[in-house]
Chains A and B, each alone.
Chain A
Amino acid sequence: MKYDVVLIGGGLSSLVCGISLQRTGKRCLMVSGGQNALHFSSGAFGLLGFRPDGSAVERPLEELDKLPANHPYRKVGAAKMHEYVNRVKPFFASCGVMLDGDPERNSWRLTPTGTVRPSWLAMSDVTLYEDSVVSIGRKALIANIAGYLDFNTAFLAEGLEKAGVTCRLEAVALPEFERLRTSASEMRSVNIARVMDHDQVWKKFVEQVCVLLRDEDVVVLPEVFGLHDEHILEQIRESIPARVVFVGTMAPSVPGIRCQSALKTAFEQAGGEFLMGDEVISSEMDGERVLSVRTANLGDTVLEADHFVLATGGFFGRGLQATAEAVSEPVFGLDVDAPEERTQWYNPDFFAPQPYTRFGVHTSENLRAMKAGKEMENVYVIGSELGGADALCEGSGAGIAVMTGFKAAEMING
Chain B
Amino acid sequence: MTNKNEFDVIIVGGGITGAGTARDCAMRGLKVLLIERHDIATGATGRNHGLLHSGARYAVTDRESATECIEENKILRKIARHCVDDTSGFFITLPEDDLAYQAKFVESCLAAGIQADIIDPKEAIRLEPSVNPTLIGAVRVPDGSVDPFRLCAANMLDAKLHGAKVLVYTEVESFIMEGDTVLGVRTVDQRTGEKAEYRAAVTVNAAGIWGHHIASLAGVNIGMFPAKGALLIFAHRVNSIVINRCRKPANADILVPGDTVCVIGTTSTRVPYEECDHMHVTPEEVDLLLTEGAKLAPVLENTRILRAYAGVRPLVSADNDPSGRNISRGIVCLDHEVRDGVKGFVSITGGKLMTYRLMAEQAADAVCKKLHVNQVCKTAVTPLPGSATGSVEEVSRKLWSVPVTVQKAAAGRSGDWAEKIAMDHPMDRSLVCECEEVSVGEAEMAIRDLDVHNLTDLRRRTRVGMGTCQAELCACRAAGLLAKAHGCADRARADLKDFMNERWKGMYPVAWGETLREGEFTQWIYKAVLGL
- What residues of chain A lie closer than 8 Å to B484, measured between beta carbons? 154
Tell me if B304 counts as interface (CB < 8 A to partner A). Answer: no
- CA A397 – CA B492 in complex, angstroms? 28
A interface size (C-beta, 8 A): 57
Tell me if A300 counts as interface (CB < 8 A to partner B). Answer: no
- CA A347 – CA B405 in complex, angstroms? 37
Tell me if A366 counts as interface (CB < 8 A to partner B). Answer: no
B interface footprint on A143-175 (CB within 8 Å = 1, 0 otherwise)? 000110110111101100000000000000000
Say whether A111 contacts B531, CB under 8 Å.
yes
Say whether A185 contacts B501, CB under 8 Å.
no
- What residues of chain B lie closer than 8 Å to A146, measured between beta carbons? 427
> Which of B405, B430, B524, B530 has a CB less than 8 Å from the CB of A113?
B530
By beta carbon, the residue of chain B nearest A156 is B489
The verdict on A323 contacting B430 (CB below 8 Å), with A40-B524, A113-B493, A113-B532 known, is no
Tell me if B453 counts as interface (CB < 8 A to partner A). Answer: no
> Which of A149, A253, A397 has a CB less than 8 Å from the CB of B477?
A149
Tell me if A356 counts as interface (CB < 8 A to partner B). Answer: yes
Tell me if B398 counts as interface (CB < 8 A to partner A). Answer: no
Say whether A356 contacts B511, CB under 8 Å.
yes
Instruction: Say how far A315's CB is from chain B's closest CB, in angstroms.
Output: 5
Tell me if A129 counts as interface (CB < 8 A to partner B). Answer: no
Say whether A346 contacts B511, CB under 8 Å.
yes
Instruction: Say how far A163's CB is from chain B's closest CB, in angstroms.
Output: 14
- CA A322 – CA B513 in complex, angstroms? 5
Say whether A42 contacts B528, CB under 8 Å.
yes
Tell me if A71 counts as interface (CB < 8 A to partner B). Answer: no
By beta carbon, the residue of chain A nearest B522 is A350
Say whether A154 contacts B483, CB under 8 Å.
yes
Which of B102-110, B251-259, B431-439 makes up part of the contact surface? B431-439
Say whether B520 contacts A348, CB under 8 Å.
no
The verdict on A350 contacting B427 (CB below 8 Å), with A112-B530, A250-B525, A395-B528 known, is no
Say whether A392 contacts B517, CB under 8 Å.
no
> Which of A40, A154, A350, A392 has a CB less than 8 Å from the CB of B500?
A350
Say whether A41 contacts B529, CB under 8 Å.
yes
The verdict on A116 contacting B531 (CB below 8 Å), with A184-B431, A348-B508 known, is yes
Instruction: Say how far A398's CB is from chain B's closest CB, in angstroms.
Output: 10
Say whether A350 contacts B501, CB under 8 Å.
yes
Say whether B483 contacts A40, CB under 8 Å.
no
B interface footprint on A130-150 (CB within 8 Å = 1, 0 otherwise)? 000000000000000011011
- What residues of chain B lie closer than 8 Å to A349, measured between beta carbons? 501, 504
Tell me if B429 counts as interface (CB < 8 A to partner A). Answer: yes
Tell me if A14 counts as interface (CB < 8 A to partner B). Answer: no
- CA A379 – CA B480 in complex, angstroms? 46
Say whether B513 contacts A40, CB under 8 Å.
no
Instruction: Say how far B497's CB is from chain A's closest CB, in angstroms.
Output: 7
Tell me if A383 counts as interface (CB < 8 A to partner B). Answer: no
- What residues of chain A lie closer than 8 Å to B430, measured between beta carbons? 147, 149, 181, 184, 187
Say whether B480 contacts A184, CB under 8 Å.
no
- CA A315 – CA B532 in complex, angstroms? 22
The verdict on A40 contacting B525 (CB below 8 Å), with A150-B476, A155-B493, A184-B430 known, is yes
Tell me if B372 counts as interface (CB < 8 A to partner A). Answer: no
Tell me if B290 counts as interface (CB < 8 A to partner A). Answer: yes
Say whether A356 contacts B520, CB under 8 Å.
yes
- CA A321 – CA B514 in complex, angstroms? 9
Tell me if B521 counts as interface (CB < 8 A to partner A). Answer: yes
Question: Which of B426, B492, B505, B525 gathers the greatest number of chain A CB atoms within 10 Å?
Answer: B426
- What residues of chain A lie closer than 8 Å to B287, measured between beta carbons? 324
- What residues of chain B lie closer than 8 Å to A182, measured between beta carbons? 403, 426, 429
- CA A214 – CA B492 in complex, angstroms? 29
- What residues of chain B lie closer than 8 Å to A251, measured between beta carbons? 473, 525, 529
Say whether A152 contacts B500, CB under 8 Å.
no
> Which of A178, A185, A321 has a CB less than 8 Å from the CB of B431?
A185
Q: Looking at chain A's contact residues, is the secondary structure mostly helix, strand, loop, or mixed?
A: loop
- What residues of chain A lie closer than 8 Å to B434, measured between beta carbons? 185
Say whether A357 contacts B511, CB under 8 Å.
no
The verdict on A351 contacting B527 (CB below 8 Å), with A250-B473, A315-B516, A357-B520 known, is yes
Tell me if A261 counts as interface (CB < 8 A to partner B). Answer: no
B interface footprint on A376-395 (CB within 8 Å = 1, 0 otherwise)? 00000000000000001101
Say whether B440 contacts A149, CB under 8 Å.
yes
Tell me if A272 counts as interface (CB < 8 A to partner B). Answer: no
Tell me if A248 counts as interface (CB < 8 A to partner B). Answer: yes
Tell me if B242 counts as interface (CB < 8 A to partner A). Answer: no
The verdict on A397 contacting B505 (CB below 8 Å), with A149-B477, A350-B500 known, is no
Instruction: Say how far B459's CB is from chain A's closest CB, in angstroms.
Output: 15
Instruction: Say how far A320's CB is from chain B's closest CB, in angstroms.
Output: 9
Tell me if A345 counts as interface (CB < 8 A to partner B). Answer: yes
Say whether B426 contacts A181, CB under 8 Å.
yes
- What residues of chain A lie closer than 8 Å to B286, measured between beta carbons? 324
Tell me if A200 counts as interface (CB < 8 A to partner B). Answer: no
By beta carbon, the residue of chain A nearest B481 is A149
- CA A344 – CA B408 in complex, angstroms? 42
Say whether B513 contacts A158, CB under 8 Å.
no
Instruction: Say how far A29's CB is from chain B's closest CB, in angstroms.
Output: 26
Say whether B531 contacts A117, CB under 8 Å.
yes
Tell me if B272 counts as interface (CB < 8 A to partner A). Answer: no
The verdict on A147 contacting B427 (CB below 8 Å), with A154-B489, A345-B511 known, is yes
The verdict on A342 contacting B511 (CB below 8 Å), with A112-B530, A184-B430, A184-B431 known, is yes
The verdict on A158 contacting B489 (CB below 8 Å), with A184-B403, A314-B520, A343-B283 known, is yes
Tell me if A295 counts as interface (CB < 8 A to partner B). Answer: no
- CA A112 – CA B493 in complex, angstroms? 12
Tell me if B16 counts as interface (CB < 8 A to partner A). Answer: no
Question: Which of B427, B439, B508, B530 gathers the greatest number of chain A CB atoms within 10 Å?
Answer: B530
- What residues of chain B lie closer than 8 Å to A237, measured between beta carbons? none
| CB proximity to A under 8 Å, residues B452-504 | 473, 476-477, 479-481, 483-484, 489-490, 492-493, 497, 500-501, 503-504
- CA A182 – CA B477 in complex, angstroms? 18
- CA A397 – CA B405 in complex, angstroms? 38
- What residues of chain B lie closer than 8 Å to A153, measured between beta carbons? 480
Say whether A323 contacts B440, CB under 8 Å.
no
> Which of A117, A154, A324 has a CB less than 8 Å from the CB of B492?
A154
Say whether A322 contacts B512, CB under 8 Å.
yes
Tell me if A354 counts as interface (CB < 8 A to partner B). Answer: yes
> Which of B480, B489, B530 has a CB less than 8 Å from the CB of A111?
B530
Tell me if B264 counts as interface (CB < 8 A to partner A). Answer: no
By beta carbon, the residue of chain A nearest B484 is A154
- CA A197 – CA B440 in complex, angstroms? 27
> Which of B476, B480, B489, B529 has a CB less than 8 Å from the CB of A40?
B529
> Which of B480, B524, B528 has a CB less than 8 Å from the CB of A149?
B480
| CB proximity to A under 8 Å, residues B407-453 | 426-427, 429-432, 434, 439-440
| CB proximity to B under 8 Å, residues A315-369 | 315-316, 318, 321-324, 342-343, 345-351, 354, 356-357
Tell me if A55 counts as interface (CB < 8 A to partner B). Answer: no
Question: Which of B280, B287, B427, B479 gathers the greatest number of chain A CB atoms within 10 Å?
Answer: B427
Say whether B530 contacts A397, CB under 8 Å.
no
- List 9 A-B pairs, Cβ < 8 Å: A111-B531, A155-B483, A250-B530, A316-B521, A322-B511, A323-B513, A350-B501, A354-B523, A392-B524
With A149-B480, A154-B484, A350-B500 given, can you name 14 additional A-B contacts, CB distance below 8 Å?
A: A41-B529, A111-B530, A117-B531, A147-B426, A152-B483, A154-B480, A154-B483, A155-B479, A184-B403, A184-B430, A251-B525, A316-B520, A356-B516, A392-B523
Chain B: residues with CB nearer than 8 A to chain A? 280, 283, 286-287, 290, 403, 405-406, 426-427, 429-432, 434, 439-440, 473, 476-477, 479-481, 483-484, 489-490, 492-493, 497, 500-501, 503-505, 508, 511-513, 516-517, 519-521, 523-532
Q: What are the 4 closest A-B residue pairs judged by CB atoms, nearest first? A: A111-B531, A158-B489, A350-B504, A154-B483
